């Protein structure tokens, strides 16, 4: 493992250095495709040069609407070599939510899987900043403009242009020159905009710099036993920070390799891990429960895994999970906006495993009240911190200066999570201050969900809340107030949601109510709705009980 000084923590420098040192060593495997460290450098050079010929330069924003593939990671890194900004978009996004991601991020180019092109086309002329669309896979061929790199709209035998925008096949970009781009890129230049859950409004675009991911990797590598022989398996999406920083960048930092899967399957997980020779993997949210609930097999313990990374507050059976699969558990607390603030690692006291870990000296961490005054051990407050080293925390929320300042008030980063500290300095999670819902590993903005359902012509008002799930996360419930004289059914609400939002946002529970409880300032009193839900949930309409299925 090579440590890099801050000024060398850029994608271009690190990839070139890794290729020189470890050329033939595998870095990435995906569905039979193998990418060595040398090939990683060469292929990202080609993509970077192809993108540059399309006019992408330093500071330009490029949206990536792609399923989990090697190409998605290569594109993210290629954009880093240009000093451009990658905007990986949730592959389930569509309709108004997709329009918001593309417009709010000011993306000038969109790279999209062929199967998702219709989602772009459905937005019509609502993407004025987008200059061209690059298509991966499918019938993506187009006619070339004579002597130029730009494509012209293809004829009906190929992919039609998206509202007159040039349409370029990704395979042509991937065939460009393998010369190393000469763009001057600094460690503090913006590299990603990653969209996280909204709290009281739209999802926020977290802008991070080139050094950010390497800073995350460096912290993990200092506190967790990692080695070049490790194979990091992930089935988590590469449009989320976890798979990018905690898996890909951490493997890169350690001269290790990544085994990428298209998506999570509890029934296939161990077969994929064994086939990849993976020594560690990450299981977020309900994944641990789904893995645990698989029928026990005689070979459960016969696997190459040393470490399972999972979110804080693991389930009560976590010790049995360790024993059944013969592995160690690592938990940590971090956000898209920052880095591992606390950690629990193998060798720490077993009785602390259900905590969110303890600070390791990488940040000054406090638990404070609503006035930012530190509270004593045992009392619940908000977790705030200040990093010990620069450039490990986001540059800010893109085009949202007020939200950026609010999160960093009084010179402390406010996480929005309520915890308590014990006498030994370990932190224990209590709940969230922010109005978001966590379902199947996805953060859902209640505000976005409400905005979409509120567009139904028969809906007067709507409120979304989290209710307990059998998988120890959240399920989505909505309270709907129909307009006067209108008759609505829960099935109609679900059908309306199905074509307008990602599958994971579609509510499971729907209840109709005459009016929402509100404060004198007209804010919805969701604590009252949560109390009502606890008392009535077994009798509320349940999409799963009704047999309504939502496709991806």
- pLDDT category at 146 given cuts 50, 70, 90 is very low
Task: Identify each DSSP E strand in 173-230 by its residue range.
Answer: 190-196, 204-209
pLDDT in tens, 448-495: 888 899 989 999 999 999 998 877 678 999 999 999 999 999 999 999
CB 22 within 8 A of CB 12: no
pLDDT in tens, 240-288: 999 999 999 999 999 999 999 999 999 999 999 999 999 999 998 778 8
Max mean pLDDT among 79-88, 190-199, 498-507 falls in 79-88
Kindly state the average pLDDT of the residues 339-365.
Answer: 94
* pLDDT for residue 155 is more than 60: no
* pLDDT for residue 154 is more than 70: no
Shortest CA distance to 387 belongs to which of 6, 10, 105?
6
pLDDT given at position 142: 40
CB 479 within 8 A of CB 491: no
Query: Which region among 149-153, 173-177, 394-398 has the lowest average model confidence (pLDDT)?
Result: 149-153
- pLDDT category at 316 given cuts 50, 70, 90 is confident
* pLDDT for residue 443 is more than 90: no
Average per-residue pLDDT in the chain?
90
Q: Give the span between the Cα atoms of 423 and 441, in whole angstroms.
A: 31
pLDDT given at position 445: 76
pLDDT in tens, 19-57: 999 999 999 999 999 999 999 999 999 999 999 999 999
- pLDDT category at 81 given cuts 50, 70, 90 is very high
Predicted TM-score (pTM) of this structure: 0.84
User: What is the percent of the chain with per-residue pLDDT over 70, rounded to a whole number?
Assistant: 92
Listed in sequence order, the residues at least 6 apart from 269 whose beta carbon sits closer than 8 Å to its beta carbon are 235, 281, 291
Shortest CA distance to 228 belongs to which of 41, 38, 30, 25?
25
φ, ψ for residue 15 (rounded to 5)? -65, -40
pLDDT given at position 235: 96
- pLDDT category at 289 given cuts 50, 70, 90 is confident
Q: Which fold has domain 446-546?
A: GMP Synthetase; Chain A, domain 3 (3.30.300)
Q: Where is pLDDT greater, at 496 or 473?
A: 496
Listed in sequence order, the residues at least 6 apart from 346 whose beta carbon sits closer than 8 Å to its beta carbon are 225, 307, 328, 329, 330
pLDDT given at position 145: 34
Kindly state the average pLDDT of the residues 483-510.
Answer: 92
CB 304 within 8 A of CB 232: no
Kindly write down the DSSP assignment for every residue of 382-419, as one continuous string: EEEEEESSTTSS-SEETT-HHHHHHHTGGGSEEEEEEE
Judge if 36-187 and 208-395+410-432 fold alike in CATH terms: yes
Query: Which region among 110-124, 187-201, 299-313, 532-546 has the lowest average model confidence (pLDDT)?
Result: 187-201
Q: Give the span between the Cα atoms of 328 and 305, in whole angstroms.
A: 9
Listed by start position, the domains of the chain span 36-187, 208-395+410-432, 446-546
* pLDDT for residue 364 is more than 50: yes
| CATH 3.40.50.12780 corresponds to the domain 208-395+410-432 | yes
| CATH 3.40.50.12780 corresponds to the domain 36-187 | yes
Q: Give the span between the Cα atoms of 369 and 380, in whole angstroms.
A: 8
Query: Which region among 154-163, 191-200, 289-298 has the lowest average model confidence (pLDDT)?
Result: 154-163
């Amino acid at each position: 493992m090579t440590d890099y000084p801050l000024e060398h923590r850029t994608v271009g420098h690190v990839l070139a250095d890794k290729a020189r040192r470890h050329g033939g060593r595998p870095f990435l495997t995906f569905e039979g495709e193998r990418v060595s460290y040398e090939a990683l450098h060469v292929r990202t050079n080609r993509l970077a040069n192809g993108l540059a010929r399309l006019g992408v330069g330093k500071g330009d924003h490029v949206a990536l609407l792609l399923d989990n593939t090697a190409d998605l990671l290569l594109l993210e890194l290629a954009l880093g070599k240009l000093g451009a900004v990658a905007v990986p978009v949730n592959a389930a996004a569509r309709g108004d939510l997709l329009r918001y991601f593309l417009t709010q991020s000011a993306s000038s180019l969109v790279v999209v899987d062929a199967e998702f092109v219709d989602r772009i086309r459905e937005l019509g002329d609502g993407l004025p900043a987008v200059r061209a669309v690059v298509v991966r896979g499918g019938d993506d061929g187009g006619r070339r403009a004579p002597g130029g790199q730009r494509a012209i709209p293809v004829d009906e035998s190929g992919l039609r242009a998206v509202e007159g925008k040039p349409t370029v096949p990704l395979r042509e970009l991937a065939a460009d020159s393998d010369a190393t781009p000469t763009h001057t890129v600094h460690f503090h230049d913006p590299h990603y905009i990653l969209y996280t859950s909204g709290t009281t409004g739209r999802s926020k675009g977290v802008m991070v710099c080139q050094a950010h991911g390497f800073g995350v990797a460096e912290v993990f590598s200092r506190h967790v036993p990692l080695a070049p022989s490790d194979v990091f398996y992930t089935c988590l999406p590469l449009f989320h920070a976890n798979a990018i920083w905690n898996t890909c960048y951490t493997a890169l930092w350690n001269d290790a390799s990544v085994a990428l899967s298209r998506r999570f399957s509890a029934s296939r997980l161990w077969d994929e891990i064994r086939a990849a020779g993976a020594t560690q993997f990450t299981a977020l949210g309900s994944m641990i429960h789904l893995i645990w609930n698989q029928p026990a097999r005689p070979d459960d313990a016969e696997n190459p895994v040393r470490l399972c990374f999972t979110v804080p507050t693991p389930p009560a059976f976590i010790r049995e999970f360790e024993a059944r699969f013969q592995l160690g558990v690592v938990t940590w607390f971090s956000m898209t906006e920052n880095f591992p603030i606390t950690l629990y690692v193998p060798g720490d006291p077993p009785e602390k495993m259900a905590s969110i870990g303890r600070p390791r000296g990488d940040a000054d961490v406090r638990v404070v009240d609503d006035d930012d005054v530190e509270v004593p051990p045992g009392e619940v407050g908000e977790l705030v911190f200040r990093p010990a080293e620069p450039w490990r925390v986001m540059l800010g929320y893109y085009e949202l200066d007020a939200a950026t300042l609010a999160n960093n008030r009084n010179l402390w980063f406010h996480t929005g999570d309520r915890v308590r500290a014990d006498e030994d300095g370990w932190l224990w999670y209590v709940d969230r201050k922010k109005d978001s819902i966590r379902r199947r590993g996805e953060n859902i903005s209640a505000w976005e969900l409400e905005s979409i359902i509120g567009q139904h012509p028969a809906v007067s008002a709507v409120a979304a809340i989290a209710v307990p799930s059998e998988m120890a996360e959240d399920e989505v419930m909505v309270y709907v107030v129909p307009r006067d004289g209108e008759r609505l059914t829960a099935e109609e609400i679900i059908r309306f949601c199905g074509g307008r939002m990602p599958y994971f946002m579609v509510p499971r529970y729907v209840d109709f109510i005459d009016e929402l409880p509100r404060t004198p300032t007209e804010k919805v009193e969701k604590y009252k709705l949560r109390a009502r839900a606890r008392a009535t949930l077994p009798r509320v309409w349940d999409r799963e009980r009704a047999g309504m299925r939502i496709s991806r």
